[in-house]
Chain A
Amino acid sequence: MIGAESQVNSPSSALAGSAPPAVVLTGLTKQFGRFAALRNVTAEFVAGKLYAVLGENGAGKSTMLRAIAGLLQPTHGKVTVLGANSVREVCDQLGYMAHPSLLYDEMSGLENLRYFGRLYGIEDDQRCKDAIVMVGLDPALTRPVGQYSQGMRQRMSLARALQHDPTLLLLDEPFSNVDVASARGMVQLLGRMRDGGKTIFVVTHQARLLADLADEFVWMHAGNINSRVPTLDLEAVQ
């Protein structure tokens, strides 16, 4: 499944050099009842890189992302984000996009961003509009998000996640149901953001889209990080 023989069971990044870690997971375990979604995950992710988090369904990818976002309390272990032991301290530097849109269906895209922007102290409409344009949508679109296509909703969700210019972006399945051209556009945007110094985690089943862009492919299996490799073995993702 994974073309990562060289680094299996070596969760600390080979890329970890002088750059400070953006995320440090120490013995992270998350149990839901008797089911362990994450099992003693220890890893360090340096800042300014784009990480593609891959693995089969139920591997723990989304759970790891939610734990980093502070949406889940670890059963055991510790999550350090941007040097803070409590995600709450740095949540204004964090952008999170989940599989559901996290948007109000009854409001237009701009109305949604206007509201969520205020939660981050953004009063300027122009910044909301810029974020919408950035993901390739039209800020003048007045119809409610509930009437958007799934792909448009995904892109609006991305706009919501990045409108406050976060340092750390956590994206769960950003390309699902997005057409190929739009997905490539999103990938280019992520590339520019990474080049601008952001740390980006992308959970995806469409690894090929990130083949030329991601700095590291983090393979997960059964609640643990199986391997971390700098290149994608295309045969492995057939």
Chain B
Amino acid sequence: MSAPVVLSEAEVKEVSASPAPTSWKITTASLSKDLWLEWRSKDAINSMIFFALLVVVIFSFSFDPTAEESRQIVGGLIWVSFLFAAIVALNQTWAREIRNQVLDAYRVSPAPPNALFLSKALGNFLFVTVLEAVMAPLFMIFYNLKVLGPAYLLLLIAALGTWALVVNGTFFAAISLRTRSREVMLPLILFPISIPALLAMVEATKIVLTGESAAKFWIVLLAVYDLVFTVVCLTLFETVLNAE
């Protein structure tokens, strides 16, 4: 450790006022910080993948569906397992901010609250996307799946569905921050509100897998759900952040 404060007056640098940072700059700074911390600890990713892997294996032992039956049920299985696994990451979203009351340092800064929310939601989106990228091929193998509809739509459904889960999950994780049993609270609040999105994801995925009809209605529903909840969460986040 170096010697205690010994700088002379001249060395106490006079600094000019910095230009106000833009929301996007703060979002990227906060996002890179979260990704860096996750890269070091791998807390969220490891537990999510391990959890989802268990679900795939247990389900595959529990059912022995034919290829046709698989296409009917895998939409539900895959999204429910992603939802459960995402809870692990969502519960950890704010854990680091609560330790040492770091969130207070953000609250006293001029940084806009929405930038913090957006960075957390984007971070969770990336974590869950990594999970999906790892787990989706395993689902295909374990359930012997062959996509009969337009496969590219699965990417769109995955992106919209993942955002639906993480935008609400990040918001409700922030709400449950100050509750005593927050890890139980999050699924209790999140699951009911995710039902319309979950229904749309499952139905759209099933339609694409079976190639039976067009998934347009469900995809549009999902997009509208995302839009509405993103706006609501961004609007209300400042209140949640400053709640006592």
A interface vs B, CB < 8 Å? Answer: 69-73, 91-92, 94, 96, 98, 100-107, 111, 115-116, 118-123, 127, 130, 133-138, 149, 152, 160, 164-165, 181-182, 184-186, 188-189, 192-193, 195-196
- Residue of A whose beta carbon sits closest to that of B4: A185
16 A-B contact pairs sorted by A residue (CB < 8 Å)? A91-B109, A103-B102, A104-B100, A104-B102, A105-B100, A134-B5, A136-B2, A136-B3, A136-B4, A137-B2, A164-B15, A165-B15, A185-B4, A185-B5, A193-B12, A196-B14
- Residue of A whose beta carbon sits closest to that of B28: A118
What residues of A have a CB within 8 angstroms of the CB of B2 in the complex?
136-138
What residues of B have a CB within 8 angstroms of the CB of A133 in the complex?
7
Q: Is the CB of A119 within 8 A of B106?
A: yes
Q: B212-243 interface mask toward A, CB cutoff 8 Å, 1 = contact, 0 = none?
A: 00000000000000000000000000000010
Tell me the total A-B contact number using a CB cutoff of 8 A: 123
B141 adjacent to chain A (CB < 8 Å): no
What residues of B have a CB within 8 angstroms of the CB of A98 in the complex?
101, 104
B33 adjacent to chain A (CB < 8 Å): yes
Q: Is the CB of B21 within 8 A of A121?
A: yes
B interface vs A, CB < 8 Å? Answer: 1-7, 9, 11-15, 17-21, 25-26, 29-30, 33, 36-37, 40-41, 96, 99-102, 104-111, 242, 244
Within the assembled complex, what's the spacing in Å between the Cα atoms of A136 and B6? 7
Question: Which 4 A-B pairs rank lowest in CB-CB distance, beginning with the nearest?
Answer: A185-B5, A185-B4, A121-B18, A119-B109
- Knowing A119-B29, A121-B20, the reply to whether A102 touches B100 (Cβ < 8 A) is yes
Within the assembled complex, what's the spacing in Å between the Cα atoms of A130 and B12? 8
Within the assembled complex, what's the spacing in Å between the Cα atoms of A119 and B1? 28
What residues of B have a CB within 8 angstroms of the CB of A116 in the complex?
105, 109
Within the assembled complex, what's the spacing in Å between the Cα atoms of A104 and B29? 14
Q: Is the CB of B104 within 8 A of A118?
A: no
- Knowing A134-B12, A136-B5, the reply to whether A102 touches B21 (Cβ < 8 A) is no
Q: Is the CB of A119 within 8 A of B21?
A: yes
| Cβ-defined partner of B104 (8 Å) among A71, A107, A136, A186 | A71
- Residue of A whose beta carbon sits closest to that of B9: A192
What residues of B have a CB within 8 angstroms of the CB of A160 in the complex?
105
- Knowing A152-B1, A185-B5, A192-B12, the reply to whether A120 touches B18 (Cβ < 8 A) is yes
| Cβ-defined partner of A182 (8 Å) among B5, B37, B105 | B5
What residues of B have a CB within 8 angstroms of the CB of A122 in the complex?
18
Within the assembled complex, what's the spacing in Å between the Cα atoms of A121 and B30? 13
What residues of A have a CB within 8 angstroms of the CB of B12 in the complex?
134, 189, 192-193, 196
Within the assembled complex, what's the spacing in Å between the Cα atoms of A116 and B104? 11
| Cβ-defined partner of A100 (8 Å) among B9, B15, B101, B110 | B101
What residues of A have a CB within 8 angstroms of the CB of B13 in the complex?
127, 130
What residues of B have a CB within 8 angstroms of the CB of A195 in the complex?
9
What residues of B have a CB within 8 angstroms of the CB of A149 in the complex?
1
